Amino acid sequence: MPYPAIPPPVPDTRPPLEPVYGDPYADGQAALRGLLLDPASRRMRLMRMAWYGIQRVREQDEPRAGLHGVWAGEELLGALQIPVTVRISARTAANAHRLLAALTAAWAPSSVDLPLLYRMDGTTYLRWVRPRLVDVDTSRLGAGESLVRLGCVATDPAYYSADLVTEETQLPAPGGGVTPPLTPPLVLPPRPGGGRISATNHGTWDTAPVITMRGPWTDPGVSYSDGRRVQYQLTLAAGQALTVDTATGVASLAGGALRSPMPGSTVAARMLLPPGATTIRMLGTTPVDATMRPTLTVAWRHAYL
């Protein structure tokens, strides 16, 4: 009896598996460089991401001369290792290679910090990271499957709300504010109608705001409700902006020349917003006949450990 004919294989007409790009929209999802990792995905499943932790503290202890123990110094947090595990499940080796190529591209080395996004309890958070590791298990790659160990280093030990909070106010009246001689603490006298911002950090850790002061404004600066203040000896023309990036401790004028604060000011890098509410007041003066009012803008993210 002749053997039955073997039918030819039916070609797979389904579209090839492609990576999914976008921001996290469901709890448990993560994204780096727009590549979406989903714990519910069948093609590129996020198996693990260690988001929390304190791994390293840079202590500045000094031995006690002739005594047991040490004199404890300032405690500073170090970088944080973020291990990630992803399972690739594709129909073919070619599809697996396509997904692995996208994954490797997202984790390529970077000379600048990148936002790693992660969604929890309906809120998207971010860490500033540098990708450092892609370790691919190729034992089942021919079947379209692979387990990939990824790693990145969070250069900032804190994590933040992805959404940026921005508040703005104006100097309430011509000539309002503080004029030299300067005697700390400097505060703007209470006036209805502006001149102050209530900045609330809903997190658990200090956050670094970006403070933008736009003229016309003489001796622009700000003070915090706890007594800290920073002020600059210059005159901003109408529309000219002085931006203080407290994360780097640098103030730049119109995106160019760097500026140092006036004597007696707090170092810009120390003008962080602690957890809770902080009232920020405008310092300085404005021309009486100015048609534009000085404007203060403060932008920040809620910070957590």
Tens-place pLDDT, residues 128-174: 999 999 999 999 988 999 999 999 999 999 999 999 999 999 876 55
pLDDT one-digit tens code per residue, 108-130: 999 999 999 999 999 999 999 99
Region class of 111: left (phi > 0), else alpha (psi between -120 and 50), else beta: alpha
Q: What is the mean pLDDT of residues 5-26?
A: 75
Which tokens sit at 202?
């809903």
How many H helices and E strands in the chain? 1, 24
> 159-169 burial string, b = 16+ CB within 10 Å, else e?
bbbbeebebeb
| 7 or 190, higher pLDDT | 7
With a cut of 50, say whether residue 180 has pLDDT above it.
no
Question: Which position has the higher pLDDT, 218 or 190?
Answer: 218
For residues 86 and 19, the answer to whether their CB atoms sit within 8 Å is no
Amino acid 179: pLDDT:
47
Output the pTM of the full model: 0.82
pLDDT in tens, 222-241: 999 999 999 999 999 988 99
Q: What is the mean pLDDT of residues 70-85?
A: 86
